[in-house]
């Protein structure tokens, strides 16, 4: 039995933090909508904790999804998995103290030289607590992804074989291709170790600058490293979570999700492209080398497609005429395919240089990532939570869960669309105060957010019921149960 | 091995060698310091050193101490002080061989994942130092000019690039042997 208490801890912490962060999101939208009086410093503190918490919690829960399925194929270290959770919680406490006790509010991107130059909105201690918190969280994840990479290399021989390059080259038959969980795990290990190296470098640089501001650095290189960390790390969440789609649909339809050459090539392309496309965050930096900006545009187009297409198409094919019995887990997994597909569209539009110059500093961008994360990556995590509650605890869903399912779709879509509409209205993002013409969509989003929180609470309550179950013989080996 | 280490150490202590290596920043940082570490490694040799068995059983304590010393000597300030304060200079000639000794003793004991972690951690640390020495517009050391610190930065950057290539070779081509990374 692969499943253990640690997975549940990861998921309940991740899920609860996501829920709490939604609360901060609502407060910000209501303030922008003009119905809540929130001081600008508080708004930016909420924005900082909302972004940091959402990415951190989603990454934590997604890593549990990956660990759960990957550990069925390779030997992962439970101690490292445990250490990551401890380091995450330690870092989180530092971040919370930095933000709420010392007024730190640079947004989760901590863009140099903002941690130091705050116009006295916050001091050195707040910045250091936040930056050290992020560093500690990063160390935990780095250990986890190193362990992942090492385990895959031990099993397969190299990361190249983990991505199935020997199969692509024709040295091995397609039937011997690595399992999708191993392929995704390899990809994530590669991109996240790279991202975390960049992140550690730029965070340490920010720490040095905060302690001694006379040490100045090249802001453009700092921004490059920041997004080489932030974009890649945030992006990897969906690549960890998607493993549940491969595993769950294959089990439910009783059809194996076998990797073929097209699948392997798609994942290899995404591995390389994911590392390259952070430059689409730099399209407004006119001093960037032109070739890098072109890379940002071209490969952002390209990266949106390979894994998404093979996964979405694969999901349709595996379900087609399979006689699958839909439940919450499979429904959420299928919904996430839809969310991922529609969520990348605004990003691809924004990655077009001429559009980016107009749209990038508007709420169009939060529109993209709320749709992509809220209807894609996070839904995959909820799918896994329902899957686990069903196969491991045998917990039945109620009508309330289904109501929550449909409410979640409608309200998450509403929150995302109001951001996109605001973007189309040229409403700037990261502004605490809105003029009346901008307030309508924000207020609509805030109200939708309240119902979104209710729906998400019902998801979490279901998982808590599963955790609190007593006298249940746990067994999460689906195949065994099927027999 | 031990004789070689002592010979090496005496050679490095000799006024001519010492002043020659310390007069140029890049030689100070990338020749004298590594050679002093090498003295410690040679001194350790292949012996078991039983007195270390108890408190450095799994290599973590020794490695933490070694990394701490290494970080100290990566700081520009330390390099500068070694030239002007005799106490720091003595500390350099004591701490770096000790670092090498502890490193040699601990490396074979620590588990694979921490070796990988250290390797990857050094990539970001060396990258940061490359950036610091290359990018900062101010003269960091009193005893060395800006152009010298830029050469040091370039060497740091070269080490990072070579290390990345080696890492890629290990994980994509050669594969993992427990002792490799």
> CB within 8 A of A157, min separation 6: which ones?
B175
* Predicted confidence band of residue A465 (pLDDT cuts 50, 70, 90): very high
Set of chain B residues whose Cβ sits within 8 Å of the Cβ of A218: 131, 135
Is residue B178 scored above 60 in pLDDT?
Answer: no
| CB atoms A217 and B135 under 8 Å | yes
What is the predicted pLDDT for the residue at A75? 94
Mean pLDDT of A356-361: 91
From the list B112, B120, B174, the residue facing A197 with the nearest CB is B120
- CA–CA distance, A298 with A279 (Å, rounded to integer): 10
Distance CA A102, CA B122 (A): 31
Q: Residue A136 is inside which H or E element, if any?
A: helix A124-156
> Mean pLDDT, to the nearest integer, of A397-420?
97
> The tokens 């152009």 sit on which residue?
B147
Distance from CA of A187 to the nearest CA of B (A): 12
Average pLDDT over chain A reads 93
* Nearest beta carbon to residue A158 from set B116, B121, B172: B172
What are the CA-CA distances from residue A415 to residues A264, A372, A448, B132 (Å)? Answer: 35, 12, 6, 43
Contacts of B124 in chain A (CB under 8 A): 197-198, 200-201, 204
Q: Residue A80: its chain B contacts at CB < 8 A?
A: 113
Q: What's the rounded Cα separation, in Å, for the pair A389 and A474?
A: 10
Residues of A whose CB is below 8 A from B132:
205, 208, 215, 217
Inter-chain CB proximity A201 and B124 less than 8 Å? yes
Res. B179 pLDDT band, cuts 50 70 90: very low
CA angle A42–A45–A48, rounded 5-degree value: 150
- What would the mean pLDDT of A19-30 be, rounded to a whole number? 97
Cα(A366)–Cα(A52) distance, integer angstroms: 14
Q: Is the dihedral of CA A145, A149, A150, A155 positive or negative?
A: positive
Per CB-CB distance under 8 Å, the chain A contacts of B175 are 153, 157-158
d(CA A397, CA A404): 11
Angle at A23 between CA A226 and CA A366, to 5 degrees: 40
Chain B residues touching A221 at Cβ < 8 A: 131, 135
The domains of chain B are located at 2-174
Candidates B112, B120, B127; nearest CB to A142? B120
Torsion of CA A264, A268, A271, A274, to 10 degrees: -100
| Residue range A226-251, pLDDT digits in tens | 999 999 999 999 999 999 999 999 99
Q: Give the number of other Cβ atoms within 10 Å of residue B157's Cβ.
A: 17
pLDDT in tens, A149-190: 999 999 999 999 999 999 999 999 999 999 999 999 999 999
Chain A to chain B Cβ contacts (< 8 Å): 66
Question: How many residues are given for chain B?
Answer: 181
- Whole-Å CA distances, A221 to A273, A281, B135, B153, B156: 20, 13, 10, 15, 17
Q: Could A216 and B136 be called an inter-chain contact, meaning their C-beta atoms sit closer than 8 Å?
A: yes
Task: Please state, in angstroms and rounded to a whole number, the distance separating the CA atoms of residues B104 and B48.
Answer: 11
Tokens 């990003």 correspond to A347
pLDDT of residue A301: 84
| A277: DSSP letter | G
Query: What is the third-level CATH fold of A5-482?
Result: Cytochrome C Oxidase; Chain A (1.20.210)
Q: Note the residue count of chain A.
A: 483
Arithmetic mean of pLDDT, B30-41: 95
Q: Give the closest of B120, B135, B173 to A193, CB-based.
A: B120
CA distance A269 to chain B (A): 16
Residue A384, pLDDT score: 96
pLDDT at A477: 65
For residue A377, give the nearest of A404, A417, A343 by alpha carbon: A343
- Do A70 and A144 contact (CB within 8 A), yes or no? no
**Helix, strand or coil, per DSSP, at residue A185:** helix
CA-closest candidate to residue A54, choices A94, A98, A103, A15: A15
- Residue B171 and residue A149: Cβ atoms within 8 Å? yes
Nearest beta carbon to residue A197 from set B113, B124, B172 = B124
pLDDT of B180 > 80? The answer is no
Tens of pLDDT, residues A63-106: 999 999 999 999 999 999 999 999 999 999 999 999 999 999 99
Average per-residue pLDDT for chain B: 91
What are the pLDDT digits (tens) for A270-284? Answer: 999 999 989 988 988
Which of B112, B113, B174 lies at the smallest CB-CB distance from A143? Answer: B113
- Give the mutation candidate from A84, A206, A215 for the B interface (greatest B CB count, under 10 A): A215
* Mean local confidence (pLDDT), A297-312: 82
Return the pLDDT at A480.
Answer: 63
Q: With a cut of 80, say whether residue A481 has pLDDT above it.
A: no
According to the model, what pLDDT value does residue B17 have?
A: 93
Q: Answer for the pair A19, A26: CB distance below 8 angstroms, yes or no.
A: no
Looking at chain A, which residue has its C-alpha nearest residue B118? Answer: A143
For A307-316, how does the pLDDT look when each residue is reduced to its tens digit (9 = 90+)?
A: 788 888 888 8
Nearest Cα of chain A lies from the Cα of B176 at a distance, in angstroms, of 6
Alpha-carbon distance of B82 to B29, in angstroms, equals: 11
Chain B contact present for A143, CB below 8 A: yes
Give yes or no for A154 touching B (CB within 8 A): yes
User: Are the C-beta atoms of A140 and A80 separated by less than 8 Å?
Assistant: no
Task: Inform me whether the C-beta atom of residue A169 falls under 8 Å from chain B C-beta atoms.
Answer: no
Residue B92 has pLDDT above 70, yes or no: yes
Query: So what's the pLDDT on residue A313?
Result: 85
Would you tell me which residues 54-83 of chain A have a C-beta closer than 8 angstroms to some C-beta of chain B?
77, 80
From B87's Cα to the closest Cα of chain A, the distance in A is 25
Q: Is A205 part of the contact surface with chain B (CB cutoff 8 Å)?
A: yes
Q: Which pLDDT band, with edges at 50, 70 and 90, does A358 fall under?
A: very high
Residue A479 pLDDT exceeds 70: no
Residue A3 pLDDT:
55
pLDDT bracket for residue A317 (50, 70, 90): confident
How confident is residue A45, by pLDDT bands cut at 50, 70 and 90? Answer: very high
Separation in Å, CA B99 to CA A26, A257, B49, B103: 54, 51, 15, 6
A146 and B121: CB-CB below 8 Å? no
Cβ contact B113–A150 (<8 Å)? yes
pLDDT, residue A387, reads 94
Looking at per-residue pLDDT, the higher value among A294 and A87 belongs to A87
Q: CA-CA distance, B160 to B122, in Å (whole number)?
A: 8
A208 contact residues in B (CB cutoff 8 A): 132
Query: Which residue of B lies nearest to A162 if distances are taken between CA atoms?
Result: B172
Q: How much is the pLDDT for A23?
A: 97
Closest CA to B172 of A3, A180, A157, A66: A157
The answer to whether the bond into A113 is cis (omega within 30° of 0) is yes
DSSP, res A396: P
* Average pLDDT value for residue range A359-379: 95
Whether B181 has a pLDDT exceeding 60, the answer reads no
Which tens digit of pLDDT belongs to each residue from A121-132?
999 999 999 999
pLDDT of residue A1 exceeding 60, the answer is no
- Contact between chains at B113 and A200 (C-beta distance less than 8 A): no
């Amino acid at each position: 039995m692969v499943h253990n208490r640690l997975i549940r801890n990861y998921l309940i912490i991740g899920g609860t933090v996501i829920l709490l962060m939604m609360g901060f999101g609502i407060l910000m939208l209501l303030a922008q909508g003009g119905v809540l009086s929130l001081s600008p410093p508080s708004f930016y503190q909420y924005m900082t904790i909302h972004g940091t918490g959402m990415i951190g919690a989603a990454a934590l829960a997604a890593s549990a999804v990956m660990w759960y399925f990957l550990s069925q194929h390779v030997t992962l270290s439970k101690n490292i998995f445990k250490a990551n959770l401890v380091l995450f919680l330690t870092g989180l406490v530092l971040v919370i103290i930095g933000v709420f006790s010392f007024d730190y509010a640079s947004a989760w991107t901590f863009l140099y030289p903002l941690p130091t130059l705050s116009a006295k909105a916050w001091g050195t201690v707040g910045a250091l607590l936040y930056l050290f918190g992020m560093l500690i969280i990063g160390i935990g994840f780095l250990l986890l992804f190193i362990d992942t990479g090492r385990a895959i290399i031990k099993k397969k021989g190299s990361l190249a074989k983990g991505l199935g390059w020997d199969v692509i080259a024709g040295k091995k038959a397609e039937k011997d291709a690595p399992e999708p969980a191993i392929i995704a795990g390899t990809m994530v290990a590669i991109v996240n170790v790279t991202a975390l190296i960049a992140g550690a470098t730029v965070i340490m640089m920010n720490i040095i600058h905060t302690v001694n501001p006379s040490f100045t650095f090249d802001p453009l290189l700092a921004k490059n490293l920041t997004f080489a960390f932030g974009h890649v790390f945030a992006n990897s969440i969906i690549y960890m979570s998607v493993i549940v789609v491969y595993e769950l649909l294959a089990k439910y339809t009783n059809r194996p999700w076998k990797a073929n050459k097209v699948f392997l090539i798609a994942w290899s392309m995404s591995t390389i492209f994911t590392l390259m496309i952070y430059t689409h965050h730099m399209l407004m930096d006119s001093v960037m080398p032109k070739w890098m900006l072109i890379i940002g545009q071209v490969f952002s187009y390209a990266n949106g497609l390979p894994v998404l297409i093979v996964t979405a198409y694969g999901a349709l094919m595996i379900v087609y005429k399979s006689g699958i019995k839909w439940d919450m887990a499979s429904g959420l997994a299928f919904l996430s395919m839809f969310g991922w597909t529609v969520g990348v569209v605004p990003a691809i539009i924004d990655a077009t240089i001429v559009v980016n110059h107009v749209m990038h500093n508007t709420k169009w961008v939060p529109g993209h990532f709320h749709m992509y994360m809220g209807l894609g990556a996070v839904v995959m995590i909820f799918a896994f939570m329902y899957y686990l509650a069903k196969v491991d605890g045998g917990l039945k869903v109620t009508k309330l869960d289904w109501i929550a399912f449909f409410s979640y779709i409608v309200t998450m879509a509403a929150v995302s669309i109001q951001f996109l509409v605001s973007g189309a209205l040229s409403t700037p993002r990261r502004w605490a105060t809105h003029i009346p013409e901008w307030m309508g969509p924000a207020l609509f989003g805030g109200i939708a957010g309240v119902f979104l929180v209710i729906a998400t609470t019902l998801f979490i309550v279901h998982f808590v019921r599963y955790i609190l179950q007593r006298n249940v013989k746990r067994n999460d080996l689906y195949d065994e149960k099927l027999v | 091995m031990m004789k070689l280490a002592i010979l090496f150490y005496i050679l490095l202590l000799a006024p001519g060698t010492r002043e020659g290596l310390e007069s140029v920043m890049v030689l100070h940082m990338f020749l004298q310091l590594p050679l002093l570490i090498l003295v410690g490694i040679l001194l350790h040799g292949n012996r078991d050193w039983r007195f270390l068995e108890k408190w450095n059983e799994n290599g973590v304590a020794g490695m933490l101490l070694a990394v701490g010393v290494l970080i100290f000597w990566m700081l520009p300030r330390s390099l500068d002080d070694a030239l002007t304060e005799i106490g720091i200079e003595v500390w350099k000639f004591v701490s770096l061989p000790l670092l090498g000794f502890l490193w040699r003793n601990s490396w074979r004991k620590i588990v694979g994942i921490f070796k990988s972690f250290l390797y990857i951690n050094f990539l970001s640390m060396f990258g940061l130092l490359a950036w610091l020495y290359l990018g900062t517009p101010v003269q960091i050391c009193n005893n060395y000019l800006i152009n010298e610190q830029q050469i040091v930065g370039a060497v740091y950057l070269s080490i990072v690039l070579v290390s990345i290539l080696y890492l890629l070779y290990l994980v994509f081509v050669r594969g993992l042997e427990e002792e490799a990374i």
